[in-house]
Amino acid sequence: MRFAFSDDQDLLASTLRDFLKKECTAEKVRALWEDVRGVRSMWSKLAELGVPGALVPEAQGGMGLDERDLVLLLEETGRAALPAPVVSTAAVGAPLVRDAGGPLAEEWLARIAAGDAVVAVAHPANPFVADAGEADLLVLHEGDSLHAVERGDVTVTRQPANDPARRLYSVAWRPSPATRIAAGADAVKLLDAALDRGALACAAQALGVADQLLTLAVAYAQQRQQFGRPIGSFQALQHKLADVKVRLEYARPVVYKASHALATGVAARSVDASHAKLAAVAAAQLAAKTALQVHGAIGYTWEQDLHLWMRRAWSLERDFGDVAFHEERVAAFVLAPGAPIGPGHTFPNR
Amino acid sequence: MDLFYTPAQDAFRAEARAWLAANVPATPLRSFDTADGARDHREWERRLNAGGWAMVPWPVEYGGRGANLLEWLIFEEEYYRAGAPKRINQNGIFLLGPTIMEFGTPEQKARFLPKIASSEEVWAQGWSEPNAGSDMAAITSTARVEGDSFVLRGQKTWASRGAFADWLFGLFRTDPASERHKGLTFVLVPLDAPGVTVRPIAQLDGETGFAEVFFDDARVPIANQLGERNKGWNVAMATAGFERGLMLRSPARFQSTARKLVELYRANEASAPRGCREDVVRCWMDAEAYALDTVRTVSRLLAGGRIGFEASLNKIFWSELDVRMHETALRILGHRGDLQPEAPAATGVGDWLDGWLFSLSGPIYAGTNEIQRNVIAERILGLPRSF
């Protein structure tokens, strides 16, 4: 039992953090909103750091890591509001292709790891498919089967969302025996794993988003003067910001625990993923609301960068299961007769 | 990151569970804030100590079991799971003990720690004064040096466990010219010393859980000074860190309440008002989050880290969670929730009413949550001082 990241994991995260600080400025985020090629070029650079292939085995050119390593990287992409297919490809698509195995994995894993292929995954929890328009490979579901379809074989319709960095599409396509990669229980298993990984990824990004929103709000409160003093000296604002910090720091271990649960495949992993998403998204929502209030009118402008992270916080709430969905999953576990809850049940059996 | 227990930790849990199953009293003890209950609880502590379970994380030489903090958390889980009695000497075992280990002389460690472990000496806190509550640096009680004694004058109040304790630890002003945080010394005071008067105060629940303590030229040996003269503030802050940050409120306490809340909801599902279901589940999640964070803290401490200002985050989180859990329980119970346990119609009400009254003290004691928010704002977030 050791609830801490290794030096290697911390180093990997801080390397990505430094990279994004330089390469993914707020100005750049705005520029990438309508620059598909720019996103691709950013994705290639991230491939050099190992992000797209973090969960791809080393034999296919990936990093061969697990969710415990990826979670900190995802957090950094949230901190930078990185407008790239991190969740769809690195966190969900790559391990799905890996787990599906067979010719699909053979054909795509190396390309994913190299940053040459973007994967979009449709899931019943998401009415639209993120990054479908830019994807090379789409994993789509139909009845009880799962299909892999190339971009050229689908018709996509963009559904502009509140966050311009969020690329949502409706997808029209035709399943065929040739596109089918799994059916029945196998398909359900892959989809369930995708949902858990998607929820964890959103949670990890939400941590980074919340942390950045808090940092921006604190910086503004330190610098903005009213009544002849920094507004950050007023308890009315201090206590709001302190509450954000409390929510954020108590979401963190929940998200990290879920990364362990998914990496080790323990029985309660779905409950852990749901709890992680609920805790992190709640922290991000509170951070967004508070940061806006601390900034006042300037925070309500398009020019101020604050909304880059606010919009991210809002959109993460919906992806891979909303609050109601995840609360219900946790409730079903907690309220079941004989549920393993209470002191001594926090950590899984090996 | 490895979140599985080792076979040795599993064995430790099994050993603790077996001992507790054989020794925890079948019927709950009376409240330790009553004279009879205090006696019962001291008796329980004697038994716990004889079994070698009183101070799990302390070194063996001071009456402990020599286990590490992770094992302590495991023990705490089993302790709450077994429904074992509250710890009457929590001020001593969780707050003063660690402080003596950090600041005490070898003589002080040998003199005080074993009797804390056995609860032969039960401790009260002596921080607040009538005009020094949240503003603790406004302390005016003095300790004047005369020969090899301190002569204490002044008044402490809200001394938790004061009514039935043997000793009190607290801050006294040793430098009469000093102001605020400077010139204070941490002193250990026997409550039976001539010149010390303890007057119990009834709390919101009617029991004498705290007391005011008067010092009229009470003499205590200079050897009872803990840490450096005039540097008592630092010693007190370390104690507060243990209190807010880790020891006083181990997660098992809140997980146990959360589990009972789930059971209460399940027993009253049909009659529970709307919204209770979600609130119950949220409480469970927060209790888990608190447990997870604590293990993370302990992992950090075991790697050589220290408890810092983040203790203020803990204190807000657990105290507000505790209130929320009890409020939710009373909402589920409806009109029954307002009945005293002896009321004929009070079936299945458990001790939620009492627990709720106690939970309301959580955001006040160990430094009000407003003070904690100030600490977070200034010390963690780096915002300018508010006053």
Put simply, whether A228 touches B (Cβ < 8 Å) is no
> Where along chain A do its domains lie?
195-334
- At residue A65, the pLDDT reads 98
Are B349 and B265 found together in one domain?
A: yes
Q: Residue A330: its chain B contacts at CB < 8 A?
A: 281, 284-285
- What percentage of chain B has pLDDT greater than the value 90? 93
Q: Which of A211, A213, A220, A346 to mutate to test the interface with B (most CBs of B within 10 A)?
A: A346
In a domain, B242, yes or no: no
Decide if B299 and A341 are in contact by the 8 Å CB cutoff. Answer: no
Decide if B262 and A246 are in contact by the 8 Å CB cutoff. Answer: no
What's the gap in Å between the CA of B245 and the closest CA on chain A? 13
Are B206 and B255 found together in one domain?
A: no
Q: Is the pTM of this model over 0.90?
A: yes
What b-and-e string marks burial along A278-317, b requiring 16 or more CB atoms within 10 Å of the CB? bbbbbbbbbbbebbbebbeeebeeeebbbbbbbbbbbbbb
Put simply, whether A254 touches B (Cβ < 8 Å) is yes
Query: Residues A333-350: what's their mean pLDDT?
Result: 94
Decide if B317 and A246 are in contact by the 8 Å CB cutoff. Answer: yes
Dump pLDDT digits (tens) for B74-86: 999 999 999 999 9
- At residue A84, the pLDDT reads 97
Choose the closest CB to A233 out of B292, B316, B384. Answer: B384
Question: CATH fold of A195-334, please?
Answer: Butyryl-CoA Dehydrogenase, subunit A; domain 3 (1.20.140)
Full residue range of the structural domain in which residue B262 is found: 249-380
Q: Residue A349: its chain B contacts at CB < 8 A?
A: 4
Rounded to whole angstroms, the Cα distance separating A166 from B5 reads: 41
- At residue B155, the pLDDT reads 98
- At residue B142, the pLDDT reads 98
Choose the closest CB to B1 out of A3, A221, A246. Answer: A3
Q: Residue B310: its chain A contacts at CB < 8 A?
A: 249
Which residues fall within 8 angstroms of residue A313, CB to CB, at 6 or more apart? A206, A209, A210, A213, A281, A284, A285, A287, A288
Dump pLDDT digits (tens) for B122-162: 999 999 999 999 999 999 999 999 999 999 999 999 999 99
Question: Is residue A182 classed as helix, strand or coil in its secondary structure?
Answer: strand
Nearest one of A221, A251, A44 to B282, comparing CA atoms: A251
Decide if A346 and B292 are in contact by the 8 Å CB cutoff. Answer: yes
The answer to ipTM > 0.90 is: yes
Put simply, whether A216 touches B (Cβ < 8 Å) is no
- At residue A258, the pLDDT reads 98
Dump pLDDT digits (tens) for A190-235: 999 999 999 999 999 999 999 999 999 999 999 999 999 999 999 9
Per the CB < 8 A criterion, the answer to whether B226 and B187 are in contact is yes
What's the gap in Å between the CA of B132 and the closest CA on chain A? 20
What's the gap in Å between the CA of B146 and the closest CA on chain A? 44
The number of distinct structural domains making up chain B is 3
Q: What is the mean pLDDT of chain B?
A: 95
Choose the closest CB to A348 out of B3, B281, B316. Answer: B3
Decide if A341 and B296 are in contact by the 8 Å CB cutoff. Answer: no
- At residue B307, the pLDDT reads 85
**Read out DSSP for B175-208?**
-TT--TTTTEEEEEEETTSTTEEEEEE--TTSS-
Are B372 and B258 found together in one domain?
A: yes
- At residue B15, the pLDDT reads 98
- At residue B245, the pLDDT reads 65
- At residue B29, the pLDDT reads 95
Nearest one of B251, B364, B237 to A250, comparing CA atoms: B251
Question: Is residue A132 classed as helix, strand or coil in its secondary structure?
Answer: helix
pLDDT at B112 over 90: yes
pLDDT at B244 over 70: no
Put simply, whether A204 touches B (Cβ < 8 Å) is no
Which residues fall within 8 angstroms of residue A209, CB to CB, at 6 or more apart? A78, A79, A81, A284, A287, A309, A312, A313, A316
Decide if B281 and A350 are in contact by the 8 Å CB cutoff. Answer: no
Rounded to whole angstroms, the Cα distance separating A112 from B13 reads: 45
pLDDT: which is higher, B245 or A320: A320
Decide if B262 and A339 are in contact by the 8 Å CB cutoff. Answer: yes
Residue B71 banded pLDDT, cuts 50, 70, 90: very high
Rounded to whole angstroms, the Cα distance separating B121 from B123 reads: 6
Are B81 and B127 found together in one domain?
A: no
Q: Residue A344: its chain B contacts at CB < 8 A?
A: 13, 74, 77-78, 81, 252
Which residues fall within 8 angstroms of residue A127, CB to CB, at 6 or more apart? none
Q: Which tokens go with A289?
A: 């609301």
Decide if B77 and A254 are in contact by the 8 Å CB cutoff. Answer: no
In a domain, B25, yes or no: yes
Q: Which residues 37-56 of chain B have a CB within 8 Å of chain A?
A: none
In a domain, B301, yes or no: yes
Q: Which tokens go with A136?
A: 């090379």
Are B226 and B273 found together in one domain?
A: no
Decide if B373 and A238 are in contact by the 8 Å CB cutoff. Answer: yes
The CA R_g of chain B, rounded to the nearest whole Å, is: 21
**Region class of B102: left (phi > 0), else alpha (psi between -120 and 50), else beta:** alpha
Helices marked H in chain B? 7-23, 35-50, 69-81, 90, 97-103, 106-117, 232-245, 251-267, 276-302, 311-333, 352-359, 369-375
pLDDT: which is higher, B94 or B213: B213
Catalytic annotation, pick one of B71, B77, B243, B288: B243
Rounded to whole angstroms, the Cα distance separating A220 from A234 reads: 13
Domain of B283, CATH number, reads 1.20.140.10
Are B225 and B146 found together in one domain?
A: yes
Domain-terminating residue out of B204, B231, B258: B231
Are B227 and B254 found together in one domain?
A: no
Decide if A254 and B317 are in contact by the 8 Å CB cutoff. Answer: no
Residue of chain A nearest B259, judged by CA positions: A342
Q: Residue A245: its chain B contacts at CB < 8 A?
A: 313, 376, 380-381
Which residues fall within 8 angstroms of residue A132, CB to CB, at 6 or more apart? A120, A122, A138, A154, A156, A167, A169, A171
- What percentage of chain B has pLDDT greater than the value 70? 99
**Read out DSSP for A238-260?**
HHHHHHHHHHHHHHHHHHHHHHH
Domain of B220, CATH number, reads 2.40.110.10
- At residue B238, the pLDDT reads 85
Decide if A249 and B262 are in contact by the 8 Å CB cutoff. Answer: no
- The verdict on whether B45 is a catalytic residue reads no
What's the gap in Å between the CA of A235 and the closest CA on chain B? 6
- What percentage of chain A has pLDDT greater than the value 70? 100
Are B223 and B327 found together in one domain?
A: no
**Total Cβ atoms within 10 A of residue B291:** 26
In a domain, B110, yes or no: no
Residue of chain B nearest A66, judged by CA positions: B1
Put simply, whether B296 touches A (Cβ < 8 Å) is yes
pLDDT at B241 over 80: no
Query: Residues B318-341: what's their mean pLDDT?
Result: 97
Residue of chain A nearest B6, judged by CA positions: A1
Are B265 and B366 found together in one domain?
A: yes
Strands A180-183 and A119-121: unpaired
Amino acid at residue number A221: A
SS (HEC) of A63-74: CCCCHHHHHHHH
In a domain, B370, yes or no: yes
Are B195 and B254 found together in one domain?
A: no
Q: Which tokens go with A152?
A: 């050229």
